[in-house]
Structure 1
Amino acid sequence: MRLNAKQIAAYTGGTFAVEPLDPRALLTGITWDSRDVCAGDLYVALPGERADGHDFVAAALSAGALGALVMQPMAEDVRALARELGAAVIDVPDTAGAVTDLAREWRSHLQGRVIALTGSTGKTTTKNLVRDVLAAAHSVVATVGNQNNELGVPKTLLSAEPETEAVVVEMGMRGTGQIAELCSFVRPDWGLVVNVGESHIELLGSRENIARAKAELLRELPEGTGLAFVNAADDFAGFVRAEARLDARRVPCVLFDGSPDAAARRVAADAADVVRPAVWAEQVELDEQGRPRFVLHAAGFGGSDAAAPHGEQASCSLNLRGLHNVGNACAAAAVGRALGMPLAA
């Protein structure tokens, strides 16, 4: 993020309780934890059940914040401190909503590809793998930890610079429509669904409803230019593709598959003449510490795999433990391959 206080006020519908000393000074980060403030940050005062962020505005400004978003009148001593430090205090109707408003506007400044992912299990691990794969060849910003909610998602966008080549956004959900709402300001170019499980089934009632909620991500991809990534081993893979209307909307789909049946499923797809770009694993085994090693395959991407009868292949081993991480790794490799990275890289 690189915005001055006047831009922030305009984007959030705010008014100045204290104007900045230098209206051209850029705020370069955002936080709502006064203990994490870095010089040049925008501090967001969020009300909470245990503590109210407005009580820590002075501490944030003293720590180097160049501005604060508030939704309550500030005491005179706090305003005096802001004036003394040259910082802005911006009054907005809703501080949490203002974070989304900022991200919505900042998204238009981003020149790189925005890649969003969701899933019932393994989405944070997969996000980390996508981040690390892409970082081998590109500048990358990704969701920190599992900050995949209404605050963490906009913060991820705001953490990127205009020239960042790839922004990897993890999206969580607890109900229908939530992923679509996140997509309304993230505007992902590419979308990846790790799997459809039973998380939040008590809220959504069935795996079909969970799949519909996950498919919102793919349904929001731009027609004609978007790219979807779907887990071929998931029994709801076809349902998700159909629910998102990928073929009708001309959104290509890349399949990834880390299951023991991956090779057979690929052969069946060839026979049915519904071949899609794909990344899959064969010859999977675990070492003595439970870490997978396997042969990674890719086909259908063109370029270096076009001349090979069975696509590209490369030996792969993971530091992560568990067979379930083979599928997560294939997902990350699929994103990298779609960005033009050689499979070996």
Structure 2
Amino acid sequence: MIPMTLAEVAAATGGVLDTTDGTPVVDAPLAFDSRRPSPGSLFACLTGALVDGHDFAALAVEQGAVAALAQRPVHVPAVLVPDVLTAMSDLARAVHQRYDGVTIGITGSAGKTTTKDLLAHVLAAHAPTVANRASFNNEIGFPVTVSSVRPDTRYLVLEMGARGKGHIQALCDIARPGISTVLNIGSAHVGEFGSREAISDAKAEIVRALPATGKAVLNADDPLVAAMRREHDGRILTFGTDEGADVRATDITTDEGRPTFTLHHQGRTAAVQLTVYGRHNVTNALAAATTALAADVPFDTVATALSEARMATGGRMAVTTRTDGVTLINDAFNASPESVLAALDALTEVGRGRRRIAVLGEMAELGDASVQWHWRVADAAARAGLAHLLVVGSGEGADVLADAYTAATHTVPDRHTADTVSAAVRAILLPGDVVLVKGAHALGLDAVADQLLTV
């Protein structure tokens, strides 16, 4: 963190010092796990349904935290505030006001974390970079990420998610981006928003938040995203496969699922081969490349680093082959409808000439479009030529998917454990098979993928 005394922390959060004179300095990110606070951190005493962080403040200080951010005295140095979660955002805002590097915001219905990981790798090849860990893009993870910047940090990459109108604006109020990147507008959470147009309006908040000197990076291949150019009077850079895009990809091919393409920008070209799997990740790579170029990273650095970039976050098209030749595709961190279709396409590419199995969780938060989307997934599963489809879930979506896919189908209610799902897969698994595990994070299919890694 950019160093701040406890007195300055109290001023930023409207807090009161307790058991301290305010002179100790916080110079590490906010922490909320008392077992692993960084030396010099400030421990946030968050209160959950089962655990109260206040009970662990003394342990956090013992483990190296300078003090606690708390709502009541905790018998160790603390800044007492009315609400810890609000204070975390207030502190992150104060840190960001002292930060003089480039802040980059990324949003979209799918691909945010992949793009963030690719971009962070490219930027780090040029200058010190801080980015969200995993999908730390909510009211807890976001302030933690912002508080991670140091005086020498050149780039701050912030993934921004939204479950309603105003959510992205609230994040931008904490850390206003100088570059805003919008990937796509899909159908994830359409049941909550009501329509893709409403999703687009919410995502556009990241563009509206830009200062006049800011830069918008937009997907030229997505009409709803491309239309966001109306939201910003400053510089706009586009990416896509169309000739009119500022940064584009041509000659796209896949080698056992890994995409290769030619990157174009201002008359320059470079060959790029991604380490991540799935043709759909070309779009995410283009978004990362364009954002890096907007941040003044040299073209050659972008192209080279993009070919070397690996996912820092698990559960995103992670491909592993076991000793018996079984290949596992773990894409179980999340599951928007569009990402499920893309994952099935990737399964076809990776498993060409081999027997293919998919473990798919039912998709939630799709509202009236749920039946239609599950039918579309069933159709894509049929085109993928699956030997087996295992559907995990107990709702209408699971029923539709199981009924619509007429080949060998197994349904596992989501109330069962990962052991049950893994056992169902092992019962049909043969050496050399390719298995895709894909589902919403809440279904816990990442645990299934982990179990299937062992022969």
Q: Distance in 2 between matches of 1:26 and 1:121?
A: 35
Q: Distance in 1 between matches of 2:226 and 2:10?
A: 45
Q: Distance in 1 between matches of 2:56 and 2:24?
A: 25
Verify the 8 A CA contact 1:92 1:98 in the aligned structure 2. yes
Q: Deviations over 1:21-40 (max 9, x none)?
A: x7143442210111121221
1:323 to 249, 270, 279: 279
What is the root-mean-square deviation in Å for CA atoms of aligned residues?
1.4
Structure 2 unpaired stretches of 5+: 302-455
Normalized against structure 1, the TM-score is what?
0.84
Verify the 8 A CA contact 2:127 2:154 in the aligned structure 1. yes
Q: Distance in 2 between matches of 1:89 and 1:340?
A: 41
Q: Which residue is equivalent to 1:172? A: 161
Q: Distance in 1 between matches of 2:108 and 2:145?
A: 18
Is 1:72 the counterpart of 2:72? The answer is yes
Q: Which residue is equivalent to 1:313? A: 269
Normalized against structure 2, the TM-score is what?
0.64
Q: Distance in 1 between matches of 2:61 and 2:295?
A: 41
Q: Which residue is equivalent to 2:13? A: 12
Verify the 8 A CA contact 2:28 2:38 in the aligned structure 1. no
Sequence identity (%):
40
Q: Which residue is equivalent to 2:133? A: 144
How much has 1:89 moved relative to structure 2?
1.4
Q: Secondary structure at the match of 1:344?
A: helix
Look up the equivalent residue of 2:4 and give its one-letter code: L
Is 1:231 the counterpart of 2:219? The answer is yes
Q: How does 1:139-218 map to 2 (within 5 A)?
A: 139-218=128-207
Q: Which residue is equivalent to 1:44? A: 44
Verify the 8 A CA contact 2:6 2:17 in the aligned structure 1. no
Q: Secondary structure at the match of 1:40?
A: coil
Verify the 8 A CA contact 1:215 1:241 in the aligned structure 2. no
Q: Secondary structure at the match of 1:163?
A: coil
Structure 1 unpaired stretches of 5+: 83-87, 270-275, 300-310
Q: Distance in 2 between matches of 1:95 and 1:341?
A: 38
Q: Secondary structure at the match of 1:99?
A: helix
Q: Which residue is equivalent to 1:57? A: 57
Q: Deviations over 1:100-128 (max 9, x none)?
A: 00011111111110000101000000001
Q: Distance in 2 between matches of 1:27 and 1:170?
A: 23
Verify the 8 A CA contact 2:252 2:261 in the aligned structure 1. yes
1:252 to 217, 235, 240: 235
Segments ≥4 residues shifted beyond 4 Å: none
How much has 1:72 moved relative to structure 2?
2.3
Verify the 8 A CA contact 2:67 2:78 in the aligned structure 1. yes
Q: Which residue is equivalent to 1:281? A: 249
How much has 1:153 moved relative to structure 2?
1.3
How much has 1:251 moved relative to structure 2?
1.5
How much has 1:325 moved relative to structure 2?
0.5
Look up the equivalent residue of 1:6 and give its one-letter code: A
Q: Which residue is equivalent to 1:113? A: 102
Q: Distance in 1 between matches of 2:297 and 2:27?
A: 34
Is 1:293 the counterpart of 2:260? The answer is yes
